[in-house]
Amino acid sequence: MSTALNDFMQEVKAKNPGEAEFHQAVEEVVETLMPVVEKQPEYRKAKVLERMVEPERTISFRVPWVADNGEVRVNRGYRIEFNSAIGPYKGGLRFHPSVTLSILKFLGFEQIFKNSLTTLPMGGGKGGSDFDPKFKSKNEIMRFCQSFMSELYRHIGPNTDVPAGDIGVGGQEIGFMFGQYKKLKNSFDGVLTGKGLSWGGSLIRPEATGFGVTYFANEMLKTKGQSFEGKTVAISGFGNVAWGAAIKVNDMGGKVVTLSGPDGYVYDPAGISGEKIEYMLELRASNQDIVEPYAERFGVEFIANKHPWEVKCDVALPCATQNELNEEDAKNLLANGCICVCEGANMPTTPEGAKLFLDAGLLYGPAKAANAGGVAVSGLEMSQNSIRMSWSREEVDQHLHRIMKNIHQSCLDASAQYGMAGNYVAGANIAGFTKVADAMLAQGIV
Ligand code: NDP
Ligand code: 2IT
């Protein structure tokens, strides 16, 4: 570690004690940005990096609600409004018992660069709660969402901060929160994305992250004269992102052989396609957060308490959660001949795993570039809301495909410009950073 990076990280750690995920996300970005910042005295003088790691605003609030049995429950809600240099704060809401300030700060920080890469005018933010949707009734989820929005509504708005979904927050939760926002504000605003089609949502938003990851992986494969045709693909997770990726991999001629949940993974060597993909929606809607019923339903192997990275595959798409692919998993993938790892989840690979991929020269697509398709279509939903129009499926998909190709090219160009050709991690960080940093310089010390 260089002295400059070491000093910088010491300060970040001292100011944000105990926030391991946030430190991890900052270190990964700053490591690749140091050479850029050191070449630009204006960035250093204006303390652009130091300002970027400090959220513009951090909101934390009480979320009380009543369970079906009459018991009062109290959760904690958050919204991190990280950076608004290039547009209103934008980013998802995560409802999961593992949610802490550290997790949301890592996600909000990454979102700044991801949103910049999309080329759409969106700043970075993230929020959520330690609420666990597992085994909750629909009415309990509704009451929780209403209580959450009863505080959040005063901090957000279509030109201020536009939340969306993430783990544990899908169309149903966005609906309950939108209803409560509209009631409190008496205004029909495009204040959340991922809305239903009849009330301002965009076609392709549910599929967007998974489609985008697959488009990005395909662009990477093309640089080696390859495609998804005939490739064996391991996917982790079974949620929104994994579902979209499974559909698009099949469209592009690949064969998906795994899915995973917190209970383990399923191995389906015949390929996960057609009704098996649709079954993923049932699995998630069952609210049990387990993948084993897939194995029972389709008569395939279930491997308890393991990740799918031990399976032989050509392409791996981690689509579940942070730090789900470690050094040993990376070794297994490389030993089994995997040629491409493209991240659907946010920060799924540990730093040790990522280093192995970069050293081996494998095609490695980092989350903030590869999974930007979700927020990109959120941006398109905002545009459609602003002009009070809705675009066709084909139109939105074409925009998404074009945006993913452009992100891929920007990463390649930036990596080459700084002497790290083909390193998509450096490319994504540098390309995402420059636009935000220049906007911050232009807007003065605020
Ligand atoms: P869903 O709620 O639809 O799916 C939930 C996923 O969460 C499951 O696949 C499950 O996989 C995983 N999960 C289970 N247990 C835990 C745990 N203890 N901690 C954290 N995660 C757990 O979420 P999404 O599909 O929307 O999100 C999956 C990933 O993609 C996340 O990293 C998210 O940040 C990222 N992402 C989502 C976007 C979106 O638009 N929805 C956009 C860009 C990125 P498993 O059990 O195997 O962990
Ligand atoms: O991590 C992400 O980019 C998301 N969860 C989507 C955010 C959004 O605003 O659509």
* Residues 37-59: tens digit of each pLDDT: 988 999 999 999 999 999 999 99
Nearest CA to ligand 1 atom 32: 345
The amino acid at residue 6 is N
Output the average pLDDT for the chain: 97
DSSP alpha helix (H) spans, 97-204: 101-117, 138-152, 171-185
Separation of 37 CA from ligand 2 center, angstroms? 27
> 139: which 2 tokens?
């009415």
- Is the Cβ atom of 96 under 6 angstroms away from ligand 2? no
Q: Is any ligand 1 atom within 6 A of the Cβ of residue 104?
A: no
Would you say the C-alpha torsion 179, 180, 185, 191 has a positive or negative sign?
negative
- Ligand nearest to the backbone CA of 110: 2
Nearest CA to ligand 2 atom 3: 375
Atom nearest to 260 CA in ligand 1: 47
Q: Is the minimum distance from the CB of 19 to ligand 1 under 6 angstroms?
A: no
Ligand 2 lined by 92 (C-beta under 6 Å): yes
> What's the maximum distance between 2 C-alpha atoms anywhere in the chain?
62
Task: List the CATH code of the domain at 57-187.
Answer: 3.40.50.10860
Tell me how far apart the alpha carbons of residues 111 and 428 are, in angstroms, rounded to a whole number.
12
H or E stretch including 124?
Answer: strand 124-129
Write down the CATH superfamily of domain 208-370: NAD(P)-binding Rossmann-like Domain (3.40.50.720)
**C-beta 322 within 6 A of ligand 2:** no
Reported pTM? 0.96
pLDDT at 343: 98
Cα 174 to ligand 1 centre (Å): 16
Active-site amino acid positions: 126
Residue with tokens 């991922």: 194
Check pLDDT > 80 for residue 406: yes
Domain ranges in the chain are 3-52, 57-187, 208-370
Collect all residues with Cβ–Cβ distance below 8 Å to 243 and sequence separation of at least 6: 206, 207, 210, 277, 280, 281, 284
Counting ligand 1 atoms within 8 A of each CB, the residue from 131, 166, 326 with the most, and so the one to mutate, is 166
What's the sign of the alpha-carbon dihedral 99, 304, 333, 300?
A: negative
Cβ(108)–Cβ(91) under 8 Å?
yes
Q: Residue whose CA is closest, atom 42 of ligand 1?
A: 374
Q: Is the pLDDT of residue 108 over 90?
A: yes
Q: State the pLDDT confidence band at 287, using cuts at 50, 70 and 90.
A: confident
| Beta carbon of 164 within 6 Å of any ligand 2 atom | yes
Identify which ligand lies nearest to the alpha carbon of 347.
1
pLDDT in tens, 2-46: 899 999 999 999 999 999 999 999 999 999 999 899 889 999 999
Q: In CATH terms, are 57-187 and 208-370 the same topology?
A: yes
How do residues 205-218 score in pLDDT, each as one tens digit? 999 999 999 999 99
Distances in whole angstroms, Cα of residue 124 to Cα of each of 115, 159, 209, 321: 7, 13, 17, 19
Cβ proximity of 149 and 302 under 8 Å: no
Tokens 């009062």: give the residue: 72
Task: Looking at the CA of residue 114, tell me the nearest atom of ligand 2.
Answer: 3
Supply the residue whose CA is at minimum distance from atom 28 of ligand 1: 320
Give residue 406 CA to ligand 2 midpoint distance, Å. Answer: 19
CA of 346 from ligand 1 middle (Å) equals 9
Q: Check whether 1 has a pLDDT greater than 80.
A: no
